[in-house]
Amino acid sequence: MAGKYDGLARIIIQNVGGKQNINSITHCITRLRFKLKDESKANTDILNQTDGVISVIQANGQYQVVIGNAVAEVYDAVLSVGHLSGSGTVDEDGNPMEDTGSGGKKSGAAVLIDIISGIMAPTITVLGATGIIKGLLTLFTFFGLMNAQSGEYMILYTVADGFFFFLPVILGYTAAKKFRMNEFTGMALGIALCYPTMVSLTAGEVMGTLFTGTAFEMSYYTTFFNIPVIMPRSGYTSSVIPIVLCCFIAAKLERWLNKHISDMVKAFLTPVCVLVIMASLTYLVIGPVSNVICCILTIGFEALFKIPVVGATLGCAVVGGFWQVLVIFGFHWSVIPLGYINIAALGYDFIMPGTFATVFGQAGALLAVILKTKDQKLKKIGIPAFISCMFGITEPTLYGINLPKKKPFVIGCITSAIAGAFVGIMGAKRYIPGGLGLFGLPGYIDAGGTGLYSAIVVLAASVIAFVLALLACMAVYSEKPVSGPEKAEPTPKPANTKGIITCEIGSPVEGTAVNITETKDPVFSTESMGKGVGITPKGNVIVSPISGEIVTFFPTGHAVGLVTKDGMEVLIHVGVDTVELNGKHFTPKKKQGDKVQKGEPLIEVDFHGVKSAGYDITTMVIVTNSTDYPNMELITGEKKAEDTVIRIG
């Protein structure tokens, strides 16, 4: 039985160049993240016009299809329909591959961002959920609604704090998956970093004697064959970098061992060797080196934030103003781990508070657009995007509305910078890792010290960003028609919805026409692309069914998108899955941008060759914005080229 999103999944797969063009696919909270062999084969214009797709972004070696809140379901449908694996691709040494389309690897920065996002992204929603629970517990105890010694509190606190405490175990799994090694070996290495006996060493509970004096507050608490085991005072619980570096090296070691150990014994001998070698190496070398890296990063941000007089204000203004820009390109993944590092080492974070108001700045600008627009389709997209934005998910807002319209996005960033500066001046801190938006607010409550102070500060900053963005956008934003196929600001078409326009769409080829719902491809038969007809062709020339402009002409020649002067959008799709022929048997007679009259030849097709190759030759004629035309009549039966198959009005 076809799933709800199977039709959309087929459209996406087809328009990223087919499954043979996909190296790998993952997803985050709102986006499908493809690594394509050749991005030039993707049909970005079609995807941008597809219902269910908010936008397409190409950044950091990824082809990102923005879906929104249903991304997990669409991701599952893409894997199912395309018989794909969601895992990433690596080279023979285990290094993540970022295909550029020309055979080369991406830049080091792009690979690093891909690694960080691939490892951290699967944890974000659960980490945010546990942060919410922990924040609420802090809130309840602060106001005396719950006793910290009660069983209820302790049980809930185990899940609230446990995920962050054992974060190396979780990241051991995601890092191992990213680096293509045994995931349970990665988890075992994470467990070694969190093992209670080693954790208690830093508290002096086992050895009794504390030998101090190393840099960055590291000390050694025991020895390994007379080699000092140096650890940070906080140990490795809640840490990020040590387990990631550990798994990166362990993956290479595992592959080397598998090549050199007999198949008869490597199933158990390889993990034995990996665990023994890597656990020792992590405590002796990787851990201390990781701690130095973390300290250098922290010192760098502290230096910015400690510039006399303006440091905190400048630091929070910078991260606040540019945060959503980082989100667009995926660079925010390089900053998020620093917040976790600070909380683990210091008990609080001073970087991420500057970002808290950013979602409200974008939300305020979006609300202004919703209030001022007369486009009902824009409102339909905007309202759920606004709700998601208030709870910390900005991608539907950014890619669906604010970014394409430019001014709302810029206004949201400017007001976020102002709000960030306010946070810096007031010295707010985050005590519990979590997300942005309203659910992230409890993370700023300090039960044992400043209480609600930081929460009040970031809430006030959010109000500042929201109100300023709303007022500024209300003042400067105005709707203007967009020419051409761009759909960021659709021109209202009141005549369409009233059914006043009369139009007849002709058959592009001689043959037998049936309702699109009777065709075999679910992409079309479910009407996910719009209403129309399917024609079994008898001729070999595809002609234009309307007079208008060619706004899309696939390089493979198998599909053409046209638009009339009144804004009606018509798609001709020749055959089913014929994109896989890569243009064989198709000879285009026109090109994108051409103006055509009804009946002009568009494509010459060797249907015999297409059919011999095993493809269904049914040719679809679809009105992709058919929701604008309620008075649509489908006329089926035997047709000659240009005979009416769709009548509107």
The enclosing H or E element of 304 equals: helix 287-305
Q: Which of 28, 294, 295, 413 is catalytic?
A: 28
Tell me which residue of 557, 534, 532, 560 sits closest to 610, measured CA to CA: 557
Instruction: Look up tokens 């894997």; give the residue.
Output: 79
Calpha distance 495→53 (Å, rounded): 26
Backbone phi and psi for residue 632, each to the nearest 5 degrees, phi listed first: -115, 130
CA distances from 272 to 246, 262, 279, 421 (A): 15, 14, 11, 52
Q: Which of 27, 332, 558, 573 is catalytic?
A: 573
Catalytic site residue 573? yes
Contact 585, 610 (CB under 8 A): yes
Alpha-carbon torsion 527, 530, 532, 534, what sign? Answer: negative
Coil, helix or strand for 145?
A: coil
Would you give the DSSP letter of residue 150? S
Contact 294, 241 (CB under 8 A): yes
Instruction: Look up tokens 């620093």; give the residue.
Output: 338
CA distances from 239 to 6, 80, 287, 431 (A): 39, 35, 10, 15
CA distances from 25 to 36, 45, 126, 535, 548 (A): 9, 20, 21, 34, 37
> What residues have CB less than 8 Å from 70, skipping those under 6 apart?
5, 52
Contact 485, 551 (CB under 8 A): yes
> What residues have CB less than 8 Å from 486, skipping those under 6 apart?
none
Q: At what angle do helices 407-426 and 358-372 cross, to 10 degrees?
A: 150
Catalytic site residue 260? no
Contact 560, 550 (CB under 8 A): yes
Catalytic center residues: 28, 573
